Structure 1
Amino acid sequence: MIRLLNADFTRLRKNKLFWLLSIFSIGLALFMIYTQYSDMKKYGEVIETEQLMINYSTIVGIVIAIFTSLFLGVEYSDGAIRNKISIGHKRTNIYLSNLVITTITSLFSYLLFLVIVSSIGIPLFGGITMSISKLLKLLGCIFVTIIAYVSIFTFLAMIISNKTITAIVTIMLAFGMMFYSLMAFDRLSQPEYIDTMIMKDGVQEIINTKNNHYLEGEKRKLIQLSIDIVPAGQMF
Structure 2
Amino acid sequence: MLDLLSAGIHRYLKRPLTYLCFAASLICGITYIITSVYTSENVDFFNPDDMYFIFSIIANAVLCVMNIGTEFSSGVIRNKISSGHKKHIVYISEVLITVMISTIMFCLTAVPLVAYHIAYLQRMTYMVLSLVIIYTAYIFIGIMIVFVCFVTANRTAAAIIGGLLVFLVNVIGYTTVDVLNEPEFFTKYHHADGGYSMVAGDVTGIEDMDDIVEITQEENPEYPRGIKRNIVTVIRDSNPNVSINSFMSYCYCTNNSEELYEYEKESHSEMVRSEASMCIFAVLITICGALIFKKKNLK
The two structures have a TM-score, normalised by structure 1, of 0.81
Deviations 1:48-90 (A, max 9, x none): 6xx66x7755556534432221110011111111222233332
- The counterpart of 1:104, out of the listed 90, 100, 105, is 100
- The counterpart of 2:82, out of the listed 74, 83, 86, is 86
2:175 is matched with: 183
Is 1:169 equivalent to 2:165 in the alignment?
A: no
Inter-partner Cα distance in structure 1 for 2:152 and 2:96? 19
Aligned-residue RMSD, C-alpha: 2.9
Inter-partner Cα distance in structure 1 for 2:134 and 2:26? 18
SS of corresponding position for 1:40:
strand
- Higher mean displacement: 79-88 or 103-112: 79-88
SS of corresponding position for 2:129:
helix
Q: 1:82-231 maps to which residues of 2 (within 5 A)?
A: 82-122=78-118, 126=120, 128-131=122-125, 134-194=126-186, 199-201=191-193, 205=212, 209-210=217-218, 212=220, 213-231=222-240
Give 1:169 deviation, angstroms: 0.4
1:70 is matched with: 66
SS of corresponding position for 2:26:
helix
Inter-partner Cα distance in structure 1 for 2:233 and 2:114? 33
Inter-partner Cα distance in structure 1 for 2:64 and 2:53? 17
- Higher mean displacement: 159-168 or 215-224: 215-224
Identity %: 26
Inter-partner Cα distance in structure 2 for 1:70 and 1:35? 31
Kindly provide the amino acid, as one letter, of the partner of residue 130 in structure 1.
Answer: M
Is 1:28 equivalent to 2:22 in the alignment?
A: no
User: For the structure 1 residues 97 and 79, does the alpha-carbon distance in structure 2 shift closer, same or farther, using more than 3 Å as the test?
Assistant: same
- Higher mean displacement: 181-190 or 83-92: 83-92
Inter-partner Cα distance in structure 2 for 1:64 and 1:149? 9
- Higher mean displacement: 93-102 or 205-214: 205-214
Give 1:101 deviation, angstroms: 0.9
Checking the alignment, whether the CA contact within 8 Å between 1:61 and 1:149 is kept in structure 2 is yes
User: For the structure 1 residues 223 and 60, does the alpha-carbon distance in structure 2 shift closer, same or farther, using more than 3 Å as the test?
Assistant: farther
Kindly provide the amino acid, as one letter, of the partner of residue 10 in structure 1.
Answer: H
User: For the structure 1 residues 180 and 87, does the alpha-carbon distance in structure 2 shift closer, same or farther, using more than 3 Å as the test?
Assistant: same
Deviations 1:93-146 (A, max 9, x none): 221221111111012111121211123233xx6552111xx1122222233333
Gaps of 5+ in 1: none
1:5 is matched with: 5
- Size of the aligned set, in residue pairs, is 228
Higher helix share: 1
Checking the alignment, whether the CA contact within 8 Å between 2:98 and 2:142 is kept in structure 1 is yes
Give 1:233 deviation, angstroms: 4.7
User: For the structure 1 residues 101 and 65, does the alpha-carbon distance in structure 2 shift closer, same or farther, using more than 3 Å as the test?
Assistant: same
Checking the alignment, whether the CA contact within 8 Å between 2:73 and 2:155 is kept in structure 1 is yes
User: For the structure 1 residues 193 and 6, does the alpha-carbon distance in structure 2 shift closer, same or farther, using more than 3 Å as the test?
Assistant: same
Inter-partner Cα distance in structure 2 for 1:182 and 1:164? 28
Inter-partner Cα distance in structure 1 for 2:56 and 2:27? 14
SS of corresponding position for 1:46:
strand
Inter-partner Cα distance in structure 2 for 1:41 and 1:27? 26
Give 1:186 deviation, angstroms: 0.7
Deviations 1:6-43 (A, max 9, x none): 11121122222221221111111222332233x32687
